[in-house]
């Protein structure tokens, strides 16, 4: 349970930044080199590398260096855990909203009966 909570902490922490989300967005299309990943961003390579390090430490990506090229790829498990947590919350909230709607409807029908 603690591991599950730590996974969610890490996933949500990593995603709380637009650069890191854009990197994830790029990696959904397949692995990419650091150079390729850094290209769209107007920031120095050291700053960009820090974002990659956060993503790697938080378990959302992994990387491998072959020769002088470091290639990054997505780890989908953490992303999936975060999505399924959010999906669960929405289902619970939706159930609550449906119940409230049923209650209001029943009350309106009853109050209609009383009036008739």
Contact footprint for its own copies (CB under 8 A): 5, 8-10, 12-13, 15-18, 21, 24-25, 28-30, 74, 76, 79-80, 82-83, 85-87, 89-90, 92-93, 96
Q: How far is the CB of 94 from its own copies (least distance, A)?
A: 9
Given the DSSP bridges, would you call strands 61-66 and 32-33 parallel, antiparallel or unpaired?
unpaired
- Number of Cβ within 10 Å of residue 1's Cβ equals 5
Residue 69: φ, ψ to 5°: -110, 125
* Radius of gyration of the CA atoms of the chain, in A: 23
Smallest gap from Cβ 114 to its own copies, in A, equals 27
* Best CA proximity match to 42, nearest among 59, 22, 13, 70: 22
Cβ nearer to its own copies, comparing 23 with 52 = 23
Q: How far is the CB of 112 from its own copies (least distance, A)?
A: 26
Shorter beta-carbon distance to its own copies: residue 28 or 116: 28
d(CA 11, CA 55): 8
| Residue with Cβ nearer its own copies (34 or 81) | 81
d(CA 53, CA 60): 10
Question: With respect to its own copies, which residue has the nearer C-beta, 20 or 48?
Answer: 20
CB of 49 to its own copies, least distance (A): 20
């Amino acid at each position: 349970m603690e591991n599950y909570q730590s996974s969610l902490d890490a996933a949500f922490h990593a995603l709380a930044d637009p650069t890191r989300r854009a990197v994830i967005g790029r990696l959904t299309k397949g692995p990419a080199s650091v150079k390729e990943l850094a290209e769209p961003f107007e920031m120095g390579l050291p700053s960009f590398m820090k974002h990659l390090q956060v993503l790697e430490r938080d378990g959302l990506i992994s990387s491998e260096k072959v020769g002088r090229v470091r290639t990054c790829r997505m780890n989908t498990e953490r992303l999936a855990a975060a999505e399924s947590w959010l999906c669960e919350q929405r289902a619970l909230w939706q159930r609550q909203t449906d119940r409230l709607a049923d209650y209001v409807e029943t009350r309106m029908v009853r109050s209609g009966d009383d009036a008739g």
